[in-house]
Structure 1
Amino acid sequence: MGSASTSWSFTVTSSPLSSSFLVPSSSLAGSCPPLTFSVLRKIFLLALVGFASQICGYAGIDYSSPVLGTAMMNLIPAFTFILAIISRMEKLNWKGSSSQAKLVGTVASILGALVITLYKGPTILRLPSLPSFVHPRHLVSLLSRQLNWVLGGFLLSPAEAFLLSLWFIMQAFILKDYPVVLNIMFYLMFFATIFSGLLSFIMVREPQSWTLKLDVGLIAILYSVSV
């Protein structure tokens, strides 16, 4: 079973479990404002953005490494700050020390992400002189791994990190219209289950990919449900 199949089966397994656990919690929310079609549409878009960021993250890690994926998570505060300014949730005071510190941190995070992404890429990495007996196929394989690292970095930074930041900003706007967190999370997981189910059954053709085993994969699913 390939890592891509594992990612799809992980997604389609964790989402329905999360939504099922949220059913009794959402029923205990008590009196709450009516759920309008406008709010439900926003939750649908929120689930779509979250699902897209999750898929980009899995693909990025598959192309690069979990270490790079963890490092790229530092971009989330930077992108969130930029989106907060664009959406006028954050006011930028050029003379204030707080705004200046946020700007410096944002620039440093983005530059650091570019360095760690391109460090193993063909643009910056200087290959040592290869001996004459190296087979061209080995050189192509080496360059392919370097390109995969760069592709994984861009899937993790502009794609996953940016979409997660957008996900947080969208949550803030939805909570202003419908301040019932448990109900929002239930519908969020419900829509995520639909997205992951449709795409997973299309992408995963191996029946053994849907078999749950007592291994790290099952622990990861239970952990994702708990958080």
Structure 2
Amino acid sequence: MGLKAAAPFVGMVMAECAQVGLMILSKAAMSDGMTNFIFVLYSNALASLILLPSSFFLHRSERPPLTFPILCGFFLLGLFGWLAQIFGYAGINLSSATLGTAMLNLIPGLTFILAVAFRMEKLDWRSSSSLVKSTGTIVSVAGAFVVCYYKGPPLLMAPSTSNLPQELLSQQQNWIIGGLLLAVDCVMASAWLIIQALILKKYPAELIVVFFYCFSVTILSTIVCLFMERDPGAWSLKPTVRWIAVVYSVSSEKIFIFFM
């Protein structure tokens, strides 16, 4: 296998590693009081500011025309991306970064199902490729539900001041609710990938697509945050882990992963 053929696989591995880091940092930021709405707003707003000059500069010579249907597609992409991020970070906040990372395995299987439904992928039971994809989809979905409904004992027992049954039950409920929210995140992310593929076929200027996606998410997040976040402290980027998580989100998820 040549370097060119191996590039997509290497890119996917790097993207997964970047996503794991984002899960951990976002969990740390939200544990320090940052809400998922504010986190999504800041990360997409920063990405929009970075991409605004670079996207139009790099595509200044070959820039497809921006038509109304294309702009509607950008907004639809932003809507599904916003929903995926909101549900995803809410699920991580209720459960853990470990569960969030494990639930990512749902996305390829769900994307395959949606691709078949929209006739972007052919399902031929006589083909070994289709059988492997179908088996992988079933295994990934089953595994995701197992980790969602089962929380094993901690590997390192931390000292606890209270082990009341009510608290343990509450933690288990949060784990299940968080897992279900992460499952919704995976569904939205799969739909986002399908919409992204359709848009890129009609508008192959990747950076401009990324910019309008982030800009749409920023608009949606701003509207929601103005109604949801009444506490001025929620808008603060202190302590340091908050702005580190935002900057990392921009560098990994918004820009790096899109091109993998």
TM-score by length of 1: 0.87
Gaps of 5+ in 1: 122-136
Given the alignment of the two structures, is residue 49 of structure 1 paired with residue 80 of structure 2, yes or no? yes
The answer (yes or no) to whether the contact 1:26–1:182 under 8 Å persists in 2 is yes
Q: Identify which range, 4-13 or 202-211, moves more after superposition.
A: 4-13
The answer (yes or no) to whether the contact 2:34–2:242 under 8 Å persists in 1 is no
Given the alignment of the two structures, is residue 17 of structure 1 paired with residue 46 of structure 2, yes or no? yes
Residue 48 (structure 1) shift: 0.5
Equivalent position of 2:181 in the other structure: 155
Residues 2 and 176 of structure 1: is their aligned pair in 2 closer, same or farther, counting only changes over 3 Å?
A: closer
The answer (yes or no) to whether the contact 1:39–1:178 under 8 Å persists in 2 is yes
Matched AA of 1:88? R
Fraction of identical pairs, as percent: 48
Q: How many residues align?
A: 213
CA distance in structure 2 between the aligned counterparts of 1:186 and 1:160, rounded to whole angstroms: 21
Given the alignment of the two structures, is residue 172 of structure 1 paired with residue 192 of structure 2, yes or no? no
Equivalent position of 2:91 in the other structure: 60
Equivalent position of 1:193 in the other structure: 218
CA distance in structure 2 between the aligned counterparts of 1:104 and 1:181, rounded to whole angstroms: 32
The answer (yes or no) to whether the contact 1:5–1:204 under 8 Å persists in 2 is no
**Superposed counterparts of 1:68-83, under 5 Å:** 68-83=99-114
Matched AA of 1:91? K
Gaps of 5+ in 2: 1-28, 153-162, 253-260
Residue 214 (structure 1) shift: 5.8
Matched AA of 2:44? S
Residue 85 (structure 1) shift: 0.6
CA distance in structure 1 between the aligned counterparts of 2:99 and 2:242, rounded to whole angstroms: 20
CA distance in structure 2 between the aligned counterparts of 1:176 and 1:40, rounded to whole angstroms: 14
Matched AA of 2:171? R
CA distance in structure 1 between the aligned counterparts of 2:124 and 2:201, rounded to whole angstroms: 25
Equivalent position of 1:146 in the other structure: 172
TM-score by length of 2: 0.76
